[in-house]
Amino acid sequence: MSRYEFNSELKLIHKAKRGDIKAFSELYAQLYQELYKFALYTMKHSQDAEDVVSETVIAAYENIKKLKKEESFRSWIFTILMNQCKKHFKQNSETEELKDEITAEEVSQEENYDLLQAFQMLDGEERMILSCSILEGYSSEEIGHMLAMNPATVRSKKSRALEKLRKNLA
């Protein structure tokens, strides 16, 4: 993100905190694909991903006035998304088994299918850690803060998850 884009995003965040619905909508439009991609990789199924993204956006809109640092908006909304994913996992585990497959239509390239299948074999926490790290570029410290874990624990869980991923691909 360029400095101009960052400053533009900060202005939108500031307006959204003051109740500007249009500004919040613009922020959502800018982040939707990132939020959805993260949710899809974490939740395994498009409908579940859409649900948690919708719940995230509603929660973010309702609580944006509580955001202390405007420059932390992205990590804040991804923290909300991760919490929604965890909540969804808990609800589903109480009522039914989670869906195991992403349909072929959801996979953009055939060569990614094996990787996605291997990724889906990981548990929810492992998928969240890898998604935050690999897809979104968060550091172990940032992920630790979002998941209420020690950064060293995040690094060790990430390492184990990557090893599982390698074995699943073999």
Is the model's pLDDT at 152 over the cut of 70?
Answer: yes
Cα–Cα nearest to 139, from 52, 88, 78, 81 = 78
Cβ–Cβ < 8 Å for 142, 131? no
Confidence of residue 126 (pLDDT cuts 50, 70, 90): confident
Is the model's pLDDT at 101 over the cut of 80?
Answer: no
Confidence of residue 146 (pLDDT cuts 50, 70, 90): confident
Give pTM, 2 decimals: 0.61
Residues of the chain with CATH 1.10.1740.10: 1-100
For residue 84, what are the CA distances in angstroms to 39, 52, 120, 150, 159? 9, 6, 18, 21, 24
Please determine, looking at this structure, whether the domain spanning 109-170 carries the CATH number 3.40.50.360: no
In this structure, what DSSP letter does residue 72 have?
G
Residues of the chain with CATH 1.10.10.10: 109-170
The residue assigned the tokens 């550091």 is 139
Cβ–Cβ < 8 Å for 16, 64? yes
Please determine, looking at this structure, whether the domain spanning 1-100 carries the CATH number 1.10.1740.10: yes
Alpha helix stretches (DSSP H) within 72-150: 73-95, 110-120, 124-130, 140-147
